[in-house]
Structure formats: structure tokens, C-alpha cells
């Protein structure tokens, strides 16, 4: 990628971001363009409004929560490194890394645990490491699209929490969450690799195929 | 006459038919008489259908015999056994008739035997899995089939050029290509038959099976193109013909799919309007799917693709629209038809092979074909997988590839196609037929036999049977939404993006258009899983019980000690199953005079203790609706009562944890619980009230009992019905209550004195399980249309499946000891654990049902939705009214 290098120079701090996120240069460049496109008045950061403008996100039941995940700790802006860091969760897991990785290094963002943690945090609104019954109820309210009564929703919630809850504290801890993901889905580690994965090509070629799928 | 018939029988009646028929006939009386014929033998009039039925019967009996031994079927696939049986039967036929009589006719196969199998597989296809792997499946189906066809054809031709095929086989390159095209396609019937017994993991299964279904278009096109090229003669084929061949691939496949989707649309739309004629719903499914098949066949498009798409496309909407029973019917009929067709196909394959006049053997060709199809299949799979793995997130490993190569079974489609060849145009047809038979037998028998051990030996990932959980469903949806959202953020229009788009579109337009409004509103996957979980729980509870339907188990366990357990568990249970299908109308009796309450108690005593209401005749009978007969309903009642007890005991064990857990939770339903608690308390109170009112009350009780029994007996005489609480008695009681009510009931502003009809329906005994309609009153029964009864029965059945105990209150009630109330009364309303938590809305649903019979089906469907609004304004009412009573009682004290 001869020309890629020069263009990647546009991305500030490209090297450190790449090291942290593991994105290839071309992907990073693509993300940067996207970032700039979303950044409506070239502020250099994205605000909530910028993300809310994405039409499809508005209809996504979890759209708001996903936007929130870009703004940790109540911050109002997300700069490009943070943007890339969040998206790095969605890189496919590098299998070869798992065995050889230096244990001292922090787990890569796209590790399975981090993927799951990302999903977990969408449930866990108060960040106390547990999905309380109340939080589960809120998620279910978003996810159960049909008109069910509050009472029915509550009974679904009860059941859901009970299913996953092993230590009987009435809430789902992260451990219980991961377990319910694997056991419930009959998952091997493979699934997690599949499950949270965006099928952009790592080499950055913007090949688009509607048939590319989880399995593919 | 008989003797005259026998020679006629001789020809067509061979094999099984021949051995059975004559032996039966001598027994039948009926010597031919001159003049008036007492007995006439008309074989010819029934011959064709009779034979068809006999064949199916023989096949089914054979299936039963095979499955008598678990050992055999666990080792040998059923398809192998059927083929072998076919060979034996064919041999018998050949020996008896001296000529092969039956064989797999291509017409029969394509028009009657194939559609059910394809429909079954399309309808029950796991669509999510299919679309997740669509890329791979399409690759294998299109590229793989083309590759197989051309390489096999070319290699055979090369074999002939090399002189390894006897020169008798007169075939050119085109002939071999034609042969290659028909022999190359993996056969859905064979794959299904073998792979269903080998439980490989879902991905592997869907890839092999999806390929076998979707390659039909390619097979059809290749076969037709090659066939017409052969007929034209290779010299006349022009360049444009090749182009046309390529174009026709698209026309046939996309056309077939389009036909399927159009019919799926029609089917879904039709079922939207079958609300009043539920009974024809299953028929519609089959008819329209079959119409799709025939239409595609007529337009020479890919019929298999059409039916697959039809089944795949319509399922979601049809399942939402049709009733529960229709769903079961569709499922079973589809499975029955498919299994039947499959059985007949394999048996006929065996029989057809016996007909030696049709085929000519050439070892070189046979062995060469066998080798080439295996070799090129394997090679093709490896090559394609290598390419696909560049793209796939989860690559298909070597073991998968081995299974995929080995699982490329050929079957009846190839056989039917080869039979269809024109002998005059394809001089080597007989050789091809023989080769095809050998290939089919080899793949089905040898590969079918060995694939199971192979899968075991290779340790292929098996499919794991795990229970569906709410968490699974929830997380799956969450992940989908997360991925779609991230794709949005990144601006990448990938798979998740498109699926999300599609789901939005489906939700906004398609579902709205194709689903009943009521069905659309309650249609949700998480909800579905929840619903199914409840059903599964109910079933497992029953299974735990062992002796379910013993009516001896109906004696009420009136131990006060179990009271609290029962109360909480029932509450919890109802909260869990809170689909709103709780049909307990008891909730309605919010405010009654003491007399009414006593009657209620009496009613429940009678209802529980004197259980044996028998209706000796059925009030109405309709062809358009299935009414449960009395026995069934009684069984259901017994079932429900039993079920409830199991649930109680189960819950009480489990509840220890759950209850502690649920307590500290912020209850939004607090008010509801209170309201319900009060309602329950009202019920629970009545026995206490009884005791409270000393002797006079007791006398009263007896009175009411007598009264009820009186009415009971009188009604029994009159109407031949069981225990009937007549409208007359009811309204009387109510009147009485109103008159004397000034003493007992403080008229709360919330209490609207119910009109007699209303009261009639609200009174607890009207809520007898499932018999509301019958027991309302003899007059009403006449008015009540069939619709309503059906609606009621349906709701009962849905109730049953939900395992929400409809008659819970009866035993709980009686279990409450008529102990001195002084201590119990004041704390009862404060009791955090109410005895029942029946959503009052249900009661209302029930009432409105009986009020406006025309609305019943709708009401019933809306039922789970109604709770919401009802809840809000009903429960306060019940609560306040109850307090009123409490207060009044205090005053009397």
C-alpha cells in the first residue's frame, strides 16, 4: 500500500491507534473518513447529535444505548481515537493471538471477553457489574417489539433473570451473562467470534456483498 | 363372478396385492346370482386408488416393522431398508407376474411424491441458518453442481475415448454431459433421509441440505439444455444457444423463486382472513404450496425452488395467522405426507431396479461413473471450500469437507430424470439407467450406511440439543441490533445492515399487510420463546406426575399448612405465565352478598368434590368447527386440576429461592398485586365469613347447597346436563343479595349493581372450567352461536397449554379452614402474599366475550393485550370494593 501510507498520514496518531486497536491502515483510513463525514461541522469530535443523525440508528431499539457506549462516563464528545477504540470491539477475533499473546499485555479490544463486555455494558446501565432486574426489564421493553402489558413484561423479565441467575442474587453478573451466552446459545468460542463481528474486510478493500454473513 | 374377476386381477394385482386379495375373497359370501346381483366385484373401478393405497400401506407397515428393532434402525438408515424391501417386493412381483409391473414413474414422482418432501423441508427450514450461510450454499449449489456435471460428463467421455467403456455404449460428448448433468445433482430426498439420522451440526447440515434443495434449478436447466442440445444434434447447436442456456439458468432459478414468493404472499394473505373458517386453514397451506409447485412446473421453472421459497416465505405469517390447532395439523400432515412420499420413493426405487428390461450393464461405465462422482465431488468441495474460507469467518475445516463430499448423495431425482430420457435420441439410455441405479443405490446404501460411523469416527461436531432459553433469544436479538447499529455507525452496508433493513421493512409493511392485526400485535420472537417455555414447563410438570388423568387425584388436599405455599406459588405461577390466558373468571366476583359468597364456596366445594359432570349429549355439532366432546373436556378438567397441584408442589420447592429474590424488587405491579390480593382475599374470606356468622350462616349454607343440588338435579333431568347452576337460581340469589344486601354490603360508589345478565356471567359458578357457555343458562345456550363456543374452547385449550391453572381457586378456597376469623380478618388484606393473582382483566375479557358473541374470536385473540388497559381501571375498583366489605364487616362485629 504505497499510496495508503501517505493517505494514512491524514489520520492523526495513526500509529498509536493502530497499535491499540489492531486496525489495518486502510480500515483506519476508512473509519477516519466516516468519522469526518459524521462530524457535521468539522469540530474534530463527534457529539451525540452527530450519531443520532444516522437514520437507521434512530429505528434501532438499542440505538441510543449504542450511542451511549461511545460516550463513556458522561462525556459529551468522542474524538477519533475513542471512536476507533469502540469500533475495535467489532474486529473479528484473531485466533492466532490467543495462544501466543504476552500475558502482560492488556487483552486486545476484540477479544471475546471484551466483545461480551461491550454487550454486557449495553444492559448494565448503572455500570455496577450486574444486570439488575430493573435493567433487564428495560432491555426487554426495548426488545420485545410487540405490545405486551407491563405485567407480562415483568414475568418475562423474572424468568429471564432467573434463568441466568445462578447465585440467587436476583441479578445477572458478567460471569452469569457470559455463561448464558455460551450455554444458551450452545456456543463454542466460535460463536462469539461470529456473533459480534462486523464484516468489513480487514485489508480495507471496500468490497460489499450482501451475502456476506455471519457464517461467511 | 369371482372367478371372472381373478384373471383380470392377475395382471395388475401382483406382489402384496396379489397375495392378499385372493385369500380374503373366498371368505366373503356372495355367489353370483342370475338376475339380481347380490354381490358384485368391481375391481376395475377402484383399481388405481386401491393399488396406491395398498402400496402406501405396505410401505408404512414396513416402516413399522423396521422400527420394531431399535438396533437395526440405529445402524441402517431407513432409506436403505426401504430400498432393500423394494428390491424384494420387486423380485416377488417379477416372479409372480413374469414381468416388472411397477416402477417409479417420473410423472408420479415429480407431481405427487416430490412436492410434499420439498414443502416439508422448505416450510420447516431454519431460515436464519439458511440465510446466514446463503453465500456458501449458493456457491455449492450453483458452482458445485455445474462443476460436477461438466467434469463428470467430460471425464466419462474421456473414459470412452480411452476405450474403457464398451463400444456398445453409443454416446457422444453431449450424451455424457447430459448424463453428467442428471447424475451430478445432490438429491434432497436422499440427503434428508440420511442426514436426519446423522445429527451433524446445524451449519454442516444446512450447507449440504440447502445445496441439495437449491441446486434443483441448476439441475433442471442443465438437464433441459443438454437434452435439447442432444435432440438438436451437436452440429446444430449455435453460439446463441449456449447464451440462451446461461440465460435460462437465471430465468429458471429466479423465476421459480419468484413464483414461490408470489404464492407465499397469496397464502399468507389468504390465511389472514380465515378467522371464521379455521378448519380449512391447513388445507389452504397445502393447496397453495402445491399450486406454486404446479405453476412453476407448468412454466418449466424450478418447481423445487418454488415450493421451497413458498414454504420459507409464508411460514412466519401463516404461523401467526392460523390457529394453534391448525398449526399442529399443518405440521403433522406435512410430516406425514413427506415421510409417506419418502417411503414410497425409496421403495419404488428398489422395485424399479428389478426391471432388467430397462437397463443394460456396462462395468466400465458404472465403475467409471462411481469413481468420478465421488472424486469430483470431493475435489469440487475442497476447491470451493478453499475459496469460501477466504471469506468465511468460521472456516469449514477438513472434517466438514469430508462429510460434505461424502454426503453428496444421489437419489430419486436422478433416477426419474434418467427414465425421462428419450431412447430414440439417446441411444445409450439403458446404460445410463443402469448406471444411475447403481449410483443411487451405492450412495444411499453404502454411503448412507457408512456416514454415521464416519461422522462418529471423525468426531464431527454434532448438533447440540439445548433448550431454548429466553436469554439466548434476547442476546441473539441484542447482538443483531448491536451489529446493525455498528454497521450504521461505520457506514458499512453489510449483512447485518441488510437484515436490519429487511426486518424494518417486514415489520412496517409486510407483516402489517399479511398478518391479522391481533396476530401482528402479539408477534414477537422473545414472546414466542417465553410462551413455548411455559408450554414446555407445563408438559414437564405433567410428565413428572406420571399418573396424570386419574380422577382419584382430584380429592382436595385441604391441609391448612399447605395454604401459604399454595398461595404464593400460585401467585408466582400466574405472574410467570402472565400471558393473560388465565381464564379464571372467579376474579370477577368482587362484591357479593354473603349469600353469594356462600354460594360461591358451595359451588367450589361441589365443583371440586362432586366432580363428575356429565353431559350426555352434545348441544351442537358443526362441520366447520371442532368442538371438543364431553369426555375430552372432562379429561381436560381433570388434567388441569392435576396440573395445578403439580405446579404447586413444584413451585413450592423452587419458590424458596425465587420468593426471597422477588421480594425486595421494586414492584410496579404493586397496586395490581394489592388489588388482586384483595380480590383473592375476598374469595378467601368467604369461608371465614361463613364461620363468622355462626349457626344461621351454617343453615344458610346447607340451604344453598340444597338449592344448588336441587337445581342440579332438576336441570339434569331437564337438559341431561351435569351440574348446572342455572340462571334462574343465580339471578334469584342475586336479587336476594340485593334486597338483603342493605344489611351486608355497604354500597360503595364503585359498585355498580350488575344487571342480571351481567351478574349471571360474573358469578363464580359461571366460571366453571370451560363450561361457561353451557352453564350460563338454557336460554343463553340457545342464543350462543357456535362461534362463541369455539372461541371459548380455544381459549381453554390455550389455557391448558399455558398451564395456568384455571381452577386454582377451588381447592385453595376449600383449603382455607373456616376458622375463627377474628384474628385472620384484619391482617388478610395486608398479607403480602395473596392467595391468587388473577389478573382481573381476564375476567373482563371473559365477560365481554359472553356479552357480545360476535366479537368473541377477536376478543380471544386480543386477550393478552387487553390486560393492560383493563388492569388500570379494574383493579382499583376491586380493591376499593373489597375494602368496603371489610369495613362493613367490622361494623357488624
pLDDT at B626: 58
Which candidate from B476, B504, B576 shows the least CB-CB separation from A155? B576
As a whole number of angstroms, the distance between CA B418 and CA B406 comes to: 23
Interface check for B867 against chain A (CB to CB < 8 A): the answer is: yes
Cell triple for residue B169? 455404449
* Beta strand extents in B553-656 (DSSP E only): none
Going from the C-alpha of B417 to that of each of B190, B211, B290, B369, B757, the distances in angstroms are: 15, 19, 21, 16, 69
User: Which residues touch B666 (CB under 8 Å, ≥6 apart)?
Assistant: A134
CB contact under 8 A, B526 and A144: yes
Region of B187 on the Ramachandran plot (φ > 0 left; ψ -120 to 50 alpha; else beta): beta
* Overall size of chain A counted in residues: 216
Nearest C-alpha neighbor of B293 from the set B452, B118, B145: B118
B488 vs A contacts (CB less than 8 Å): 54, 56-57, 60
Interface check for A125 against chain B (CB to CB < 8 A): the answer is: no
Which candidate from B131, B490, B657 shows the least CB-CB separation from A34? B490
CB contact under 8 A, B482 and A199: no
> Which chain A residue has its CA at the smallest distance from B837's CA?
A151
pLDDT at B595: 67
- The answer to whether B229 and B241 are in contact (CB under 8 A) is yes
CB contact under 8 A, B524 and A148: yes
Q: What does DSSP assign to residue B394?
A: S
pLDDT at B307: 93
Shortest alpha-carbon distance between residue B144 and chain A (Å)? 17
Interface check for B760 against chain A (CB to CB < 8 A): the answer is: no
Helix then strand then coil, in percent of chain A rounded to 5, is: 55, 5, 40
pLDDT at A133 over 80: yes
As a whole number of angstroms, the distance between CA A67 and CA A63 comes to: 6
Burial class (CB in 10 A: 0-12, 13-18, 19+), B873: exposed
> Which chain A residue has its CA at the smallest distance from B394's CA?
A215
Where does B614-748 have alpha helices with state H? 630-662, 670-692, 694-719, 727-744
Q: Phi, psi (5° rounding) for residue B553?
A: -70, 5
Cell triple for residue B34? 342370475
Interface check for B387 against chain A (CB to CB < 8 A): the answer is: no
Interface of A with B in 52-91 (CB under 8 A): 54, 56-57, 59-63, 66, 70, 87, 90
- The answer to whether B322 and B58 are in contact (CB under 8 A) is no
> Which chain A residue has its CA at the smallest distance from B519's CA?
A146
Nearest C-alpha neighbor of B364 from the set B438, B424, B417, B419: B438
CA torsion angle for B309, B313, B318, B321 (degrees, to 10)? -160
Q: Tell me: the pLDDT tens digits for B225-236?
A: 888 888 887 777
> Which chain B residue has its CA at the smallest distance from A180's CA?
B471
Choose the mutation target among A38, A84, A184, A202 for the interface with B, i.e. most B CBs under 10 Å: A184
- The answer to whether B837 and B673 are in contact (CB under 8 A) is yes
A37 vs B contacts (CB less than 8 Å): 491
Query: CA B404, B405, B409: angle at the middle one, nearest 5?
Result: 90
Interface check for A168 against chain B (CB to CB < 8 A): the answer is: yes
Q: Phi, psi (5° rounding) for residue A103?
A: -65, -20
Interface check for A159 against chain B (CB to CB < 8 A): the answer is: yes
Helix crossing, B495-505 with B470-490: angle to 10°? 110
B483 vs A contacts (CB less than 8 Å): 90, 196-198
Neighbours of B731 (CB within 10 A): 17
Shortest alpha-carbon distance between residue B675 and chain A (Å)? 14
Shortest alpha-carbon distance between residue A2 and chain B (Å)? 24
Q: Tell me: the pLDDT tens digits for A80-93?
A: 888 887 877 777 66
As a whole number of angstroms, the distance between CA B293 and CA B721 comes to: 50
Interface check for B666 against chain A (CB to CB < 8 A): the answer is: yes
Q: Phi, psi (5° rounding) for residue B776?
A: -55, -55
CB contact under 8 A, B495 and A199: yes
Strand partners, A131: A172
Choose the mutation target among A53, A148, A178, A196 for the interface with B, i.e. most B CBs under 10 Å: A148
pLDDT at B350: 87
Pairing of strands A46-47, A77-78: antiparallel
**Exposure class string for B112-148: b at 16+ Cβ within 10 A, else e:** ebbbbbbbbbbbebeeebbbbbbbbbbbbbbbbbbbb
Q: Phi, psi (5° rounding) for residue B400?
A: -55, -45
pLDDT at A139 over 50: yes
- The answer to whether B492 and A202 are in contact (CB under 8 A) is no
How many CA atoms within 13 Å lie on the side-chain side of B66?
Answer: 20
Q: Tell me: the pLDDT tens digits for A65-83?
A: 888 888 877 777 788 888 8
Nearest C-alpha neighbor of B85 from the set B47, B110, B106, B59: B59
- Work out the mean pLDDT of chain B and round it to a whole number: 68
CB contact under 8 A, B494 and A198: yes
- The answer to whether B53 and B84 are in contact (CB under 8 A) is no
- The answer to whether A157 and A173 are in contact (CB under 8 A) is no
Cα B341 to the chain's mean position, in Å?
19
Interface check for B203 against chain A (CB to CB < 8 A): the answer is: yes
pLDDT at B761: 46
B579 vs A contacts (CB less than 8 Å): 152
A176 vs B contacts (CB less than 8 Å): none
Give me the percent of chain A exceeding a pLDDT of 70. Answer: 68
Which candidate from B469, B492, B868 shows the least CB-CB separation from A163? B469
Residue A56: pLDDT band with limits 50, 70, 90: confident
Interface check for A195 against chain B (CB to CB < 8 A): the answer is: yes
Interface of B with A in 109-168 (CB under 8 A): 131-136, 138
Interface check for B493 against chain A (CB to CB < 8 A): the answer is: yes
As a whole number of angstroms, the distance between CA B790 and CA B773 comes to: 10
CB contact under 8 A, B464 and A149: no
Pairing of strands A130-132, A77-78: unpaired
Shortest alpha-carbon distance between residue B382 and chain A (Å)? 16
How many CA atoms within 13 Å lie on the side-chain side of B603?
Answer: 26
Where does B491-562 have alpha helices with state H? 495-505, 511-514, 517-521, 525-545
As a whole number of angstroms, the distance between CA B508 and CA B639 comes to: 41
Place of cell 430397462: B358
Helix crossing, B594-609 with B694-719: angle to 10°? 60
Predicted ipTM of the assembly: 0.80
As a whole number of angstroms, the distance between CA B160 and CA B367 comes to: 12
- Work out the mean pLDDT of chain A and round it to a whole number: 69
CB contact under 8 A, A63 and B485: yes
CA torsion angle for A168, A174, A177, A179 (degrees, to 10)? -90
Neighbours of B746 (CB within 10 A): 17
In sequence order, what DSSP letters do the residues of A167-185 get, joined into one string? SSSSEEEHHHHHHHHHHHH
Q: What is the 3-state secondary structure (H, E, C) of B747-811?
A: CCCCCCCCCHHHHHHHCHHHHCCCCHHHHCCHHHHHHCCHHHHHHHHHHHHHHHHHCCCCCCHHH
Nearest C-alpha neighbor of A118 from the set B478, B497, B488: B478
pLDDT at A67: 82
> Which chain A residue has its CA at the smallest distance from B523's CA?
A146
Give every residue of chain B whose pLDDT is below 50, as ranges.
1-28, 547-592, 611, 655-789, 791-792, 795-796, 798-893
CB contact under 8 A, B576 and A158: yes
Amino acid at each position: 500500500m504505497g499510496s495508503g501510507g501517505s493517505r494514512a498520514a491524514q489520520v492523526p496518531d495513526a500509529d498509536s491507534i493502530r497499535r491499540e486497536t489492531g486496525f489495518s491502515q486502510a480500515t483506519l483510513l476508512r473509519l477516519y473518513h466516516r468519522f469526518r463525514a459524521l462530524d457535521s461541522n468539522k469540530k474534530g469530535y463527534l457529539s451525540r447529535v452527530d450519531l443520532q443523525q444516522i437514520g437507521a440508528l434512530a429505528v434501532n431499539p438499542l440505538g441510543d444505548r449504542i450511542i451511549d457506549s461511545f460516550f463513556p462516563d458522561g462525556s459529551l464528545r468522542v474524538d477519533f481515537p475513542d471512536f476507533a477504540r469502540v469500533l475495535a470491539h467489532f474486529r473479528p477475533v484473531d485466533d492466532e493471538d490467543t495462544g501466543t499473546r504476552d500475558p502482560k499485555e492488556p487483552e486486545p479490544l476484540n477479544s471475546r471477553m471484551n466483545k461480551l463486555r461491550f454487550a454486557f455494558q449495553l444492559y448494565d446501565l448503572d455500570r455496577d457489574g450486574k444486570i439488575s432486574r430493573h435493567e433487564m426489564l428495560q432491555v426487554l421493553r426495548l426488545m420485545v417489539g410487540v405490545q405486551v402489558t407491563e405485567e407480562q413484561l415483568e414475568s418475562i423479565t423474572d424468568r429471564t433473570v432467573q434463568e441466568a441467575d445462578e447465585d440467587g442474587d436476583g441479578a445477572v453478573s458478567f460471569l452469569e451473562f457470559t455463561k448464558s451466552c455460551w450455554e444458551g446459545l450452545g456456543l463454542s468460542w466460535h460463536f462469539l467470534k461470529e456473533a459480534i463481528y462486523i464484516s468489513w474486510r480487514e485489508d480495507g478493500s471496500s468490497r460489499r456483498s450482501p451475502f456476506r454473513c455471519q457464517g461467511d | 363372478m369371482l372367478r371372472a374377476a381373478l384373471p383380470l386381477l392377475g395382471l395388475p394385482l401382483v406382489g402384496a396385492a396379489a397375495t392378499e386379495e385372493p385369500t380374503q375373497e373366498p371368505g366373503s359370501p356372495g355367489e353370483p346370482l342370475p338376475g339380481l346381483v347380490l354381490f358384485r366385484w368391481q375391481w376395475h373401478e377402484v383399481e388405481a386408488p386401491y393399488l396406491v393405497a395398498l402400496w402406501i400401506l405396505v410401505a408404512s407397515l414396513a416402516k413399522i416393522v423396521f422400527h420394531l428393532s431399535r438396533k437395526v434402525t440405529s445402524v441402517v438408515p431407513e432409506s436403505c431398508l426401504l430400498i432393500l424391501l423394494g428390491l424384494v417386493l420387486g423380485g416377488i412381483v417379477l416372479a409372480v407376474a413374469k414381468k416388472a409391473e411397477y416402477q417409479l414413474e417420473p410423472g408420479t414422482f415429480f407431481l405427487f411424491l416430490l412436492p410434499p418432501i420439498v414443502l416439508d423441508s422448505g416450510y420447516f427450514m431454519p431460515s436464519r441458518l439458511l440465510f446466514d450461510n446463503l453465500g456458501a450454499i449458493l456457491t455449492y449449489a450453483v458452482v458445485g453442481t455445474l462443476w460436477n456435471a461438466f467434469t463428470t460428463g467430460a471425464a466419462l467421455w474421456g473414459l470412452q475415448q480411452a476405450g474403457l467403456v464398451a463400444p456398445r455404449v453409443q454416446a457422444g460428448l453431449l450424451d455424457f454431459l447430459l448424463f453428467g448433468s442428471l447424475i451430478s445433482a445432490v438429491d434432497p430426498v436422499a440427503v434428508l433421509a440420511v442426514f436426519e439420522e446423522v445429527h451433524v451440526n446445524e451449519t454442516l447440515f444446512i450447507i449440504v441440505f440447502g445445496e441439495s434443495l437449491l441446486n434443483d434449478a441448476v439441475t433442471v436447466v442443465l438437464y433441459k439444455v443438454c437434452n435439447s442440445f442432444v435432440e438438436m444434434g451437436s452440429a446444430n447447436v449455435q453460439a446463441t444457444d449456449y447464451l440462451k442456456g446461461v440465460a435460462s439458468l437465471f430465468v429458471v432459478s429466479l423465476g421459480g423463486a419468484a413464483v414461490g414468493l408470489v404464492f407465499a404472499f397469496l397464502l399468507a394473505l389468504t390465511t389472514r382472513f380465515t378467522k371464521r373458517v379455521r378448519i380449512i386453514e391447513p388445507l389452504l397451506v397445502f393447496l397453495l404450496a402445491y399450486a406454486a409447485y404446479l405453476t412453476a412446473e407448468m412454466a418449466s421453472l424450478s418447481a423445487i425452488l418454488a415450493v421451497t421459497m413458498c414454504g420459507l416465505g409464508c411460514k412466519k405469517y401463516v404461523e401467526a395467522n392460523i390457529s394453534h390447532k391448525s398449526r399442529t395439523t399443518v405440521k403433522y400432515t406435512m410430516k406425514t405426507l413427506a415421510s409417506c412420499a419418502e417411503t414410497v420413493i425409496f421403495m419404488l426405487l428398489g422395485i424399479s431396479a428389478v426391471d432388467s428390461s430397462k437397463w443394460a450393464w456396462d462395468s466400465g461405465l458404472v465403475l467409471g461413473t462411481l469413481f468420478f462422482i465421488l472424486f469430483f465431488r470431493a475435489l469440487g468441495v475442497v476447491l470451493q471450500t478453499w475459496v469460501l474460507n477466504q471469506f468465511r469467518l468460521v472456516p469449514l475445516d477438513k472434517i466438514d469437507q469430508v462429510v460434505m463430499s461424502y454426503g453428496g448423495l444421489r437419489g430419486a431425482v436422478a433416477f426419474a430424470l434418467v427414465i425421462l430420457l428419450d431412447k430414440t435420441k439417446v441411444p445409450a439410455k439403458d446404460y445410463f439407467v443402469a448406471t444411475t441405479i447403481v449410483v443411487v443405490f451405492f450412495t444411499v446404501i453404502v454411503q448412507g450406511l457408512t456416514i454415521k460411523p464416519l461422522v462418529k469416527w471423525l468426531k464431527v461436531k454434532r448438533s447440540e440439543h439445548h433448550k431454548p432459553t429466553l436469554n439466548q433469544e434476547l442476546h441473539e436479538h441484542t447482538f443483531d441490533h448491536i451489529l446493525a447499529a455498528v454497521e450504521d455507525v461505520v457506514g458499512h452496508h453489510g449483512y447485518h445492515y441488510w437484515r436490519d433493513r429487511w426486518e424494518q421493512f417486514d415489520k412496517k409493511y409486510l407483516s402489517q399487510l399479511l398478518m391479522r392485526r391481533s396476530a401482528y400485535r402479539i408477534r414477537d420472537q422473545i414472546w414466542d420463546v417465553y410462551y413455548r417455555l411455559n408450554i414446555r414447563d407445563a408438559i414437564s410438570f405433567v410428565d413428572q406426575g406420571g399418573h396424570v388423568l386419574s380422577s382419584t387425584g382430584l380429592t382436595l388436599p385441604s391441609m391448612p399448612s399447605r395454604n401459604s405455599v399454595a398461595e404464593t406459588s400460585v401467585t408466582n405461577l400466574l405472574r410467570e405465565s402472565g400471558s393473560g390466558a388465565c381464564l379464571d373468571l372467579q376474579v370477577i366476583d368482587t362484591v357479593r352478598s354473603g349469600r353469594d359468597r356462600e354460594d360461591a364456596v358451595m359451588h367450589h366445594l361441589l365443583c371440586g368434590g362432586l366432580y363428575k359432570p356429565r353431559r350426555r349429549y352434545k348441544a351442537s355439532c358443526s362441520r366447520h368447527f371442532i368442538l371438543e366432546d364431553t369426555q375430552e373436556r372432562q379429561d381436560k378438567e381433570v388434567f388441569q386440576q392435576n396440573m395445578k397441584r403439580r405446579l404447586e408442589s413444584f413451585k413450592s420447592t423452587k419458590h424458596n429461592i425465587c420468593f426471597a429474590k422477588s421480594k425486595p424488587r421494586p414492584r410496579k405491579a404493586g397496586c395490581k398485586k394489592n388489588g388482586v390480593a384483595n380480590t383473592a382475599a375476598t374469595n378467601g374470606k368467604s369461608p371465614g365469613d361463613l364461620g363468622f356468622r355462626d349457626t344461621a350462616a351454617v343453615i344458610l349454607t346447607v340451604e344453598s347447597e340444597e338449592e344448588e343440588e336441587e337445581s342440579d338435579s332438576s336441570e339434569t333431568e331437564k337438559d341431561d346436563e351435569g351440574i348446572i347452576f342455572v340462571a334462574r337460581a343465580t339471578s334469584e340469589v342475586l336479587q336476594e343479595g340485593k334486597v338483603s344486601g342493605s344489611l351486608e354490603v355497604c354500597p360503595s360508589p364503585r359498585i355498580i349493581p350488575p344487571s342480571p345478565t351481567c351478574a349471571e356471567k360474573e358469578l363464580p359458578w359461571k366460571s366453571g372450567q370451560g363450561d361457561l357457555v353451557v352453564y350460563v343458562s338454557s336460554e343463553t345456550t340457545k342464543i350462543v352461536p357456535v362461534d362463541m363456543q369455539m372461541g371459548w374452547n380455544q381459549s381453554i385449550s390455550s389455557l391448558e397449554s399455558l398451564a395456568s391453572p384455571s381452577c386454582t381457586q377451588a381447592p385453595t378456597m376449600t383449603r382455607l379452614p373456616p376458622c375463627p376469623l377474628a384474628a385472620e380478618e384484619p391482617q388478610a388484606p395486608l398479607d403480602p402474599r395473596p392467595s391468587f393473582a388473577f389478573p382481573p382483566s381476564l375476567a373482563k375479557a371473559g365477560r365481554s366475550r359472553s356479552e357480545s358473541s360476535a366479537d368473541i374470536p377477536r376478543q380471544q385473540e386480543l386477550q393478552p393485550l387487553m390486560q393492560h388497559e383493563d388492569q388500570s381501571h379494574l383493579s382499583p375498583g376491586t380493591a376499593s370494593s373489597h375494602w368496603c366489605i371489610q369495613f362493613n364487616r367490622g361494623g357488624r362485629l
